[in-house]
Amino acid sequence: MGRGASYLITGGAGFIGRHVAAELLRSGARVRVLDSLIEQVHGTDPELPGELSGADFVRADIRDIDAVKEALESVDGVFHLAAEVGVGQSMYEIDRYTSVNELGTAVLFQALTERPVKRVVTASSMSVYGEGLYQDASGNPVGDAVRGEGRDWDPVDAQGRPLTPVPTPETKAPDLASVYALNKYAQERMTHIVAKAYGMESVALRMFNVYGPGQALSNPYTGVLAIFASRLHNGQRPMVFEDGEQRRDFVHVEDIARAFRLAMETEGVSGRTINAGSGRSVSIAEVAREIAVAMGRPDLGPDIAGKARKGDVRHCFADISLARELLGFEPQRSFEDSLGELAEWVAQQECEDKVDEAASELQARGLVA
């Protein structure tokens, strides 16, 4: 598949979906988007993003099987991105997250049993790993690291010695620490199981921390970089949980969009689950400081909360060796060179800072310690 092929993108009006649509349209493909345009992401008066100007659009819920069947008409492949997103919120809106993410995926595949396509590429998440991979003092891999209690956030070995975080490969066993992680793992497995049973191909991409222009700045459960940018745009210090030294992998949305296209077009990768990240790590406190500088507010340093959210992990960043080997994927956008672009985009936006409200929700439910 490729030029001239026809694709459906569920959740295609969202931050990542719209960039996937743009990538596909540039490659000469035909694109149809199904999205419900929920208020938390798109606001009260949603408008279609410019990236979808060349795509067919269907406004519908992923759980509406009749709408999904209609959207699958004459489609060669499906990119499944429709989902409720957010580790913290998933821990207290359990029914909504599970309904959209798991039942929604089930509805899609129920429809696909009647209208199968060649390949389905499903958006998964690094959250399925829980803690990333570590090494002990002897250099042995530790795939089941457990965090300490209280403020002993860094995992240690059985003798109490510090463990060293290392890039996390797909071979690390899942460790589902949140409802969102559970949802995404269910999406992965359902994709591979049902696709194989009905003669379709399947790929799941485990995305790490995606950033770039177009994120929902007023959604306090979106990517951490967008949350920090929203706070700074409103003259507030970025709120950082724990001590800020937790490390993550930040990957530009344009690189992710290309990874999705490659996952659809590359032969010989059916049934695989593949990391999609930058292959680099950076501390959350460093992220907060660098975006503040890029936005011209170096005076607004990170507000270190000294508290941890239940469901969060200490360190997790990607080993992208498999993406390089199977997909020929190589990130092209560096974190340092992309912050200026993000800052310029944020400066042109209007956004409501709802971070304190979200933090209060977590605190009230005992989900921050």
Rounded Cα distance between 240 and 243, Å, is: 7
Quick count: other Cβ atoms within 10 Å of Cβ 205?
26
Beta bridge partners of 6: 30
What residue has token string 């300490």?
148
Q: Which of 134, 180, 185, 221 is catalytic?
A: 180
Q: N- to C-terminal Cα distance for the chain? A: 49
Rounded Cα distance between 32 and 29, Å, is: 10
Amino acid at 308: A
Q: 3-class DSSP state for residue 261?
A: helix
Quick count: other Cβ atoms within 10 Å of Cβ 41?
21
CA angle in degrees (0–180, nearest 5) for 276-282-286:
140
Beta bridge partners of 113: none
- In this structure, what is the dihedral angle of CA atoms 211, 214, 218, 224, given to the nearest 10 degrees? 0
Closest CA to 186 of 98, 84, 85, 264: 98
Instruction: Check: CB of residue 112 under 8 Å from CB of residue 120.
Output: yes
Q: 3-class DSSP state for residue 339?
A: helix
Examine the residue annotation and report whether 180 is marked as an active-site residue of this protein.
yes
Sheet of 282-283: strand order equals 282-283, 247-248, 315-316
Rg of the chain, C-alpha, whole Å:
20
| Active-site residue list | 180
